[in-house]
């Protein structure tokens, strides 16, 4: 056997380690970057569009319902000259318009969502026209009956608007579900970065052991630094798991906000039904109009049972506060999920550093064996 064979075998092994480590670092970078960028694209879309759109739809519904209640209250109390939808009605209508504009800007439901928003905005214009017409009727002598009938038409249109907003909100939630349950946020995508990281770490450990055995050195510092850089790559890629959990939290908080807003809307609907029924009773005179009033009460959403000591027609403060709190929590969770913390830069820097350290750790050993062969 030739005495040079062990030397050539060592050189080939070193070349194999060098090639495998360089390819492994590039492959690991590719897997980590793919998952990291994919997850953060989903979370950014949820933060920038889906979550704000869902919350804007809920707020628009609440503002419209509160505006209607304020108008009914204004027309229910006071004399003919004082009957007026009121400043609160106008403020809430303006707020609803702002929320609809926000929903249009953040819309995540595509063309269907845009069409729904356009229909709602046009319907709100018609609704406000009916309320102003009712105001004009109430200001006239003997115009209570026509004013009340116009208010009833406005109430029917409002229910149609709120139902369309329900459908719009459902489409925005579907978009959020697609982002939270998408391909990049699935558990299977973890393997795309975890397997290369573990394989690369095992290869680095094997290279360290080979160098210690052949060169009688306890530790190759450049390879140790390369190992630490790979650990940093794995830790950075693992941030995508945390972002996915934050996105799931945002979706859960959005669902809680929806539940609380539904309770608010149901309570306000029952209150509005009572006020409209009172107006109809006054407008119909002594015979009354029981069939019409029964229809008004049937169209109203069932209100939740009032808590002890609270009025049935007033939204419970804890429900209102809970809805706002869940909405804020959803927005904060979505913001945390979308914050990449410059992870892409960290991955690239760590990979380049690992490549340099591998070359620094193995190329001198290759040079030693090249001269030994001579």
Residues 206 and 80: beta-carbon distance below 8 Å: no
DSSP assigned state of 287: T
| Burial track 177-207 (b if 16+ CB lie within 10 A, e otherwise) | eebbebebbeeebeebbbebbeebbebbeeb
Residue 351 is predicted with a pLDDT of 96
Two structure tokens written together for 187: 């558990």
Nearest residue to 244 (alpha-carbon basis) of 192, 191, 179: 179
Q: Three-state DSSP class for 85?
A: coil
pLDDT, tens digit, 9 for 90 and up, residues 106-158: 999 999 999 999 999 999 999 999 999 988 888 887 777 888 888 889 999 99
Residues 238 and 281: beta-carbon distance below 8 Å: no
DSSP assigned state of 221: H
Residue 372 is predicted with a pLDDT of 54
DSSP assigned state of 217: -
Nearest residue to 124 (alpha-carbon basis) of 77, 160, 176: 160
pLDDT, tens digit, 9 for 90 and up, residues 305-327: 443 333 334 454 545 676 788 88
| pLDDT tens over the chain, length 374 residues | 444 444 458 888 889 999 999 999 999 999 999 999 999 999 999 999 999 999 999 999 999 999 999 998 888 765 444 456 788 999 999 999 999 999 999 999 999 999 999 999 999 999 999 999 988 888 887 777 888 888 889 999 999 999 999 999 999 999 999 999 988 888 888 899 999 999 999 999 999 999 888 877 778 999 999 999 999 999 999 999 999 999 999 999 998 988 888 888 988 888 888 888 777 777 776 555 555 545 544 555 554 444 333 333 445 454 567 678 888 889 999 999 998 888 999 999 999 999 999 999 998 878 776 655 44
Residue 47 is predicted with a pLDDT of 93
Q: What is the pTM of this model?
A: 0.79
* CA 293 – CA 97 distance, rounded (Å): 30
| Domain residue ranges of the chain, discontinuous segments joined by + | 9-300+317-373
Count CA within 13 A, CB hemisphere, residue 296.
Answer: 24
Q: Please, what is the angle between helix 190-215 and helix 221-284, to 10°?
A: 170
- Assign residue 341 a region: left if phi > 0, alpha if psi is -120 to 50, beta otherwise? left
* CA 151 – CA 272 distance, rounded (Å): 11
Query: Cβ contacts of residue 215 below 8 Å, gap of 6+?
Result: 365
Could you list the beta-strand ranges (E) of 164-279: none
Residue that has been written with the tokens 């075998």 in this structure: 9
Residues 51 and 109: beta-carbon distance below 8 Å: no
* CA 282 – CA 288 distance, rounded (Å): 8
Residues 289 and 158: beta-carbon distance below 8 Å: no
Residue 120 is predicted with a pLDDT of 96
Residue 216 is predicted with a pLDDT of 74
Two structure tokens written together for 238: 């693992």
Report CA 296 to chain centroid distance, whole Å. 36
Number of helices (H) and strands (E) in the chain: give both, helices first: 10, 0
Residues 50 and 108: beta-carbon distance below 8 Å: yes
Residue 305 is predicted with a pLDDT of 40
């Amino acid at each position: 056997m030739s005495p040079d064979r062990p030397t050539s075998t060592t050189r080939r092994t070193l070349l194999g380690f060098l090639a495998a480590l360089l390819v492994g670092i590039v492959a690991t970078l590719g897997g980590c970057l793919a998952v990291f960028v994919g997850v953060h694209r989903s979370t950014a879309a949820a933060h920038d569009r889906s979550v704000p759109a869902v919350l804007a739809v809920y707020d628009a519904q609440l503002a419209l319902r509160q505006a209607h209640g304020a108008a009914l209250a204004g027309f229910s109390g006071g004399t003919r000259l004082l009957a007026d939808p009121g400043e609160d009605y106008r403020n809430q209508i303006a707020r609803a318009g702002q929320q609809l504009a926000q929903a249009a800007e953040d819309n995540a439901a595509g063309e269907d969502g845009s069409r729904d928003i356009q229909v709602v905005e046009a319907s709100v214009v018609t609704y406000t026209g009916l309320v102003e017409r009712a105001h004009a009727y109430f200001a006239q002598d003997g115009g209570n009956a026509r004013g009340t009938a116009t208010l009833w038409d406005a109430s029917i249109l409002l229910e149609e608007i709120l139902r369309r907003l329900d459908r719009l909100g459902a489409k925005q939630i579907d978009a959020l579900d697609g982002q939270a349950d998408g391909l990049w946020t699935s558990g299977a995508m973890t393997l795309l970065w975890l397997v290369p990281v573990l394989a690369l770490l095992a290869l680095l450990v094997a290279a360290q052991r080979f160098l210690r055995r052949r060169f009688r050195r306890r530790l190759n510092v450049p390879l140790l630094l390369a190992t630490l850089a790979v650990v940093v790559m794995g830790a950075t890629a693992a941030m995508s798991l945390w972002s996915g959990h934050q996105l799931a939290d945002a979706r859960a908080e959005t669902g809680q906000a929806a539940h609380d807003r539904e309770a608010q809307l149901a309570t306000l609907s029952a209150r509005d039904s009572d006020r409209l029924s009172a107006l109809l009773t006054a407008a119909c005179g002594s015979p009354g109009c029981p069939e019409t009033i029964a229809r008004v009460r049937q169209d109203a959403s069932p209100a939740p049972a009032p808590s002890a000591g609270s009025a049935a027609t007033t939204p419970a403060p804890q429900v209102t506060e809970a809805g706002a709190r869940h909405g804020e929590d959803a927005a904060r969770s979505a913001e945390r999920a979308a914050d990449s913390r410059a992870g892409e830069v960290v991955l690239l820097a760590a990979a380049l550093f690992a490549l340099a350290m591998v070359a620094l750790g193995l190329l001198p050993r290759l040079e030693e064996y090249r001269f030994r062969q001579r």
